[in-house]
């Protein structure tokens, strides 16, 4: 876990304790995006056809999945993507007359700017 990822987790805990629903939602979704980026594709050869369940793996550590190690720069790229998604959605919502929701998305994007 990088320093930036640890900071995001610590800030999530603080937001939860403060009952800040907006910060909690933003940080959770950002951490989920980071977790998704860490996941490696499942190799077809890793699946076993032996045993009582077709496609199940057997043995100690069989359920462990390899994870990719992301750098702080990789994580900043993910945060930038999350921020740009929110700003784009805010622009779309505003053009459709949903100004209040657009402002909320802009506030979420602003919260993410702290980590860049």
| pLDDT greater than 80 at residue 9 | yes
Which pLDDT tens digit goes with each residue over 61-89? 666 777 889 999 999 999 999 999 999 99
Q: Are 39 and 65 in contact (CB under 8 A)?
A: yes
Q: Kindly tell me the sign of the dihedral angle through the C-alpha atoms of 7, 37, 78, 30.
A: negative
3-state DSSP assignment of residue 59: coil
Instruction: Specify the pLDDT at position 44.
Output: 46
- In sequence order, what are the beta bridge partners of 109? none
Q: Are 70 and 59 in contact (CB under 8 A)?
A: no
Q: Are 87 and 106 in contact (CB under 8 A)?
A: yes
Instruction: Specify the pLDDT at position 37.
Output: 93
**Domains within the chain, CATH numbers bracketed:** 3-40+66-113 (1.10.1510)
| pLDDT greater than 80 at residue 24 | yes
Cβ within 8 Å of residue 66, ≥6 positions away: 40
Which pLDDT tens digit goes with each residue over 26-66? 999 999 999 999 988 766 445 555 566 666 666 666 667 77
């Amino acid at each position: 876990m990088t320093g930036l990822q640890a900071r995001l987790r610590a800030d999530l805990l603080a937001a939860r304790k403060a009952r800040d629903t907006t910060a909690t939602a933003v940080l959770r979704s950002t951490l989920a995006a980071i977790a998704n980026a860490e996941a490696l594709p499942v190799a077809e050869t890793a699946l076993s056809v032996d045993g009582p369940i077709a496609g199940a793996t057997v043995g100690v550590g069989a359920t462990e999945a390899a994870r990719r190690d992301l750098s702080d720069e990789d994580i900043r790229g993910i945060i930038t993507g999350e921020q740009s998604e929110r700003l784009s959605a805010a622009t779309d919502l505003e053009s459709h007359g949903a100004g209040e929701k657009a402002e909320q998305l802009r506030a979420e994007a602003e919260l993410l700017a702290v980590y860049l």
